[in-house]
Structure 1
């Protein structure tokens, strides 16, 4: 159900808001503002957001996606790192969708530093969704940090650089399978949800974008130690992943010699001559469990 008293932002609106507020897109914050209402509605549709849902948006910019989320009658909390942009956003919501103001809040903070205490609306353990057009240079750490910090973040739909999307969704054995692919798999499953053209942004980026849809596995939270319901320590599993991919050309035996004794490979039934890029998250967990068991 749409909010009939409001409308979304077009290219002219975006430029007018930016000019009025003295805001220019900066490379520092990786700002590329979406200027196409069809694109933000598509993102919201792919995310499955509806009336009453609770949504966290990171990097709302001038409000294109924010308004599309509010249009569904969802409740939206936005985290914006750029002070002038964060300051301007409530005014834009008030002008374009005034009836939605009571379902919207923005805080001026770095998403990599935001704490649960700063987001009390998500502190009750009830599920919420992340929907965002993420800055390309920090997309992966933002996603992994929020999943770690908020066990009730059960789903996300993010727009990222196509190369980043490919890495997040990559399968074991492929050239682009790496630490982001395995670490994200600890929490649940990710899939590509479509491409986005460059012409829907201002300024237009010099790379293609793609949508990534993620769903946390049942029990896949920090307190339960991931999607696998294992009692092995997530930090140690991630340490093994970092070490294995830090030297991709080396065998597991060589790359993990400081962390994994030979007996652990045998116990986990994992060939030590394999390379890290061939292991699933389940195998990394099994290896971590074996290390614990043989010590």
Structure 2
């Protein structure tokens, strides 16, 4: 049975490899991540994977309503029973702070904030970081801002521009709807246990126009098909779409996907949508 007066959290909460956990222990980095939130246009924040609350406490210094969500029951016990003791101004069940045990990938996000706008932040588990981003895109109508820590390679890829070898599916899909900024790099020694890779913190700010002028499912399909065969030209990688010959003769189909900007992909999807309908 879990005790409510945990005094040595290292004896109670262990980072679990199957959950991709690496607990941040650097207070300065935690504060910097909390400060990546602009709080422009929203006051609701969802923190994914709070662990031992090193980021949580800095978020609660701000004027916001915070939901901390973790799949690890040990972390939930810690946050619910020890965290308020470390922060006397916080009382379990108050209106500005809620802890829930849940799987973000399975959670209905409207149950958290209704129809209100919100932001997401956290030290994201590296083994599901791409899935977290895709779920964010599915719920972009409510998610104004998204900040936090990824494996550096993934964070760089999300923010990359055309012309780079790391520019890919995540880059285009995210930047079609959000302005992406790579903010800073975090080294392994600030984690327990330290990961084998460097980490990177980014900020995604939703664009004012975050709906596309074409069928969005088609846009996703075009981008994924193009990069799944990234060494081929679009003329070859998009064969499965059965495009009209006159469209495929356009010079853009002689390019490889990394040569197209996000705007180019949107324009291409518009033309394909018109050609197929």
Q: Which residue of 2 aligns with 1:109?
A: 102
TM-score of the superposition, structure 2-length normalised? 0.89
Residue pair 1:198, 1:204 contacting (<8 A) in 2 also = yes
1:91 maps to which of 64, 81, 99: 81
Query: C-alpha distance in 2, partners of 1:270/1:47?
Result: 42
RMSD: 2.1
Residue pair 2:49, 2:124 contacting (<8 A) in 1 also = yes
1:155 Cα shift? 1.0
Q: Which residue of 2 aligns with 1:41?
A: 31
Query: Is the aligned partner of 1:250 residue 2:232?
Result: yes
1:100 Cα shift? 2.9
Query: C-alpha distance in 2, partners of 1:163/1:25?
Result: 22
Residue pair 2:215, 2:273 contacting (<8 A) in 1 also = no
1:287 maps to which of 268, 271, 275: 268
Residue pair 2:218, 2:273 contacting (<8 A) in 1 also = no
Q: Which residue of 2 aligns with 1:10?
A: none
Query: C-alpha distance in 1, partners of 2:7/2:176?
Result: 41
The 3-state SS of whatever aligns with 1:98 is: coil
Residue pair 2:44, 2:118 contacting (<8 A) in 1 also = yes
Residue pair 1:237, 1:285 contacting (<8 A) in 2 also = yes
Q: Which residue of 2 aligns with 1:261?
A: 244
Instruction: State the number of aligned residues.
Output: 266
2:254 maps to which of 273, 279, 282: 273
Superimposed CA distance per residue, residues 162-201 of structure 1 (whole angstroms, 9 cap, x where no aligned partner): 1111101111110100111011012111111111122211
Q: Which residue of 2 aligns with 1:9?
A: none
Query: C-alpha distance in 2, partners of 1:150/1:286?
Result: 21
Query: C-alpha distance in 2, partners of 1:15/1:251?
Result: 60
Q: Which moved more, 1:281-290 or 1:209-218?
A: 281-290
1:237 maps to which of 216, 219, 243: 219
Q: Which residue of 2 aligns with 1:59?
A: 49
Unaligned ranges ≥5, structure 1: 1-13
2:21 maps to which of 2, 13, 31: 31
TM-score of the superposition, structure 1-length normalised? 0.84
Query: C-alpha distance in 1, partners of 2:254/2:202?
Result: 33
Q: Which moved more, 1:39-48 or 1:239-248?
A: 39-48
1:184 maps to which of 149, 169, 174: 174
Query: C-alpha distance in 2, partners of 1:214/1:117?
Result: 20
Instruction: Select the structure with the greater relative contact order (CA < 8 A; seq sep ≥ 6).
Output: 2
1:171 maps to which of 156, 161, 177: 161
Superimposed CA distance per residue, residues 16-62 of structure 1 (whole angstroms, 9 cap, x where no aligned partner): 2131xx32111111111111211111111222359x83211111111
Q: Closer, same or farther in 2 for the Cα pair 1:129/1:30, shift >3 Å?
A: same
1:253 Cα shift? 0.6
Superimposed CA distance per residue, residues 93-117 of structure 1 (whole angstroms, 9 cap, x where no aligned partner): 2111232341111222211111134
The 3-state SS of whatever aligns with 1:199 is: helix
1:144 Cα shift? 2.5
Residue pair 2:179, 2:204 contacting (<8 A) in 1 also = yes
1:124 maps to which of 101, 115, 119: 115
Query: C-alpha distance in 1, partners of 2:274/2:100?
Result: 45
Q: Which residue of 2 aligns with 1:200?
A: 190
1:265 Cα shift? 4.3
